[in-house]
Amino acid sequence: MIALETLSTNKAHGGVQGVYSHASAATGTPMTFSVFVPDHAPGARLPVLWYLSGLTCTHANVTEKGEYRAACAEQGIIFVAPDTSPRGDDVADDEAYDFGKGAGFYVNATQEPWAAHFQMRRYIEDELPALVAQHFPVDMARQGITGHSMGGHGALTIALRNPGRFRSVSAFAPIVSPLNCPWGEKALTGYIGPDRAAWREYDACALIDDGARLPDLLVDQGTADGFLAEQLRTELLEQAVARAGMPSTIRLQHGYDHSYYFISTFMADHVAWHGERLKG
Ligand SMILES: N[C@@H](CCC(=O)N[C@@H](CSC=O)C(=O)NCC(=O)O)C(=O)O
């Protein structure tokens, strides 16, 4: 069994909100994540919703500001929030907020100096699920995934690359095409290198164009989001799902920005949407 250190636990909405740390083989660093486990019958196994956070975040942003616990308690869903990058003094970094620590982009870096620790795809796709399955009462046949901004990009691309693994997929204000926005071009050039063909497995629109499909999809995007026009480019996802004939619900929410005020407003909707698909 992989060792897990409990950093804190607090009773909330009848369940337990915990924060945990472990030594990650994928990143070669300690990694911290949070888990909310609703109250449940002894021996019961609950569905799990993975939430991937955006640029500059740790597990703490959504844990403190995401307002998911009441909805998860009602739906009986375990909510897991990982960090967004490896951390530590020997981990490469960049002065900018959109590259390096806090900006792992859910990729396996191949370029130096990033490759040694920036293996967030492997961490999120393989290592953390195995760890969570060992330590928490999850039913791994009932997984959903969501995320915000860079984390929305992570949720979409991980789900598209792993058909059948997630029964439900949603996103809040996701980066939909790193090939076509400055955040994505900078991060993928740095982590993966200049060959843009190698970026396609990290681009939701390219994955859909290349044949990947989801059973359906929920996206909420605020119209007053300052990143919408240049970075998020929701219209590219609308075009990709239309080309593919892929069922999706992409909602433009009038007047909402990119913050956790927006995320927390629609969090219960997303948890309920996942709950419908994760039942039984
Ligand atoms: N500091 C930056 C903006 C950083 C930012 O807005 N981060 C978002 C995610 S953006 C895409 O991944 C976030 O979730 N921040 C944490 C929070 O608690 O709000 C700037 O000044 O432009």
For residue 8, which phi and psi values (nearest 5 degrees)? Answer: -165, 155
Range of the domain at 137: 5-278
From 59, 148, 153, 258, the catalytic residue: 258
Quote ipTM for the complex: 0.96
pLDDT band at residue 156 under the 50/70/90 scheme:
very high
Q: Are 214 and 159 in contact (CB under 8 A)?
A: yes
Catalytic status, residue 149: yes
Q: For residues 37 and 86, give the distance between their C-alpha atoms in angstroms, rounded to a whole number.
A: 25
Atom of ligand 1 nearest to the CA of 231: 11
Ligand 1: atom nearest CA of 53 is 14
Q: How many CA atoms lie within 13 A of 42 on its CB side?
A: 0
**What is the CATH classification number for the domain harbouring 274?**
3.40.50.1820
Give ∠ CA 66-271-17 in degrees, rounded to 5: 50
Is residue 274 pLDDT above 90, yes or no? yes
Residue 280 has pLDDT above 90, yes or no: no
Work out how many domains the chain is built from and give that number: 1
Ligand 1, atom 22: closest residue by C-alpha: 97
**Is pLDDT at 1 greater than 90 in this prediction?**
no
Which residues does a 6 A CB cutoff place in the pocket of ligand 1? 54-57, 61, 97, 148-150, 258-260
pLDDT (average), residues 132-159: 98
Classify 255 in phi/psi space as left (phi over 0), alpha (psi -120 to 50) or beta: left
Q: Of ligand 1's atoms, which has the minimum distance to the CA of residue 152?
A: 12
- The residue length of the chain stands at 280
Of the pLDDT bands very low, low, confident and very high (cuts 50, 70, 90), residue 275 is: very high
Q: Is the peptide bond before 113 cis (omega within 30 degrees of 0)?
A: yes
Give the tens place of pLDDT for each residue, 175-203.
999 999 999 999 999 999 999 999 999 99
Cα–Cα–Cα angle for 110, 203, 263, rounded to 5 degrees? 110
User: What mean pLDDT is predicted for residues 240-251?
Assistant: 98
Residue nearest to atom 5 of ligand 1 (CA): 55
- Residue among 149, 168, 170, 177 flagged as catalytic: 149
Tokens for 104? Answer: 């792992």
- Tell me what pLDDT residue 73 has: 98
- CA of residue 57 to ligand 1 center, whole Å: 7
- 71-83 pLDDT, tens per residue? 999 999 999 999 9
97 C-alpha to center of ligand 1: Å? Answer: 8
Per the prediction, the chain carries an average pLDDT of 98
Residue 268 has pLDDT above 80, yes or no: yes
Average pLDDT over residues 108-114: 98
How far apart CA 270 and CA 220 sit, in angstroms, is 9
pLDDT of residue 200: 98
Q: Is 225 a catalytic residue?
A: yes
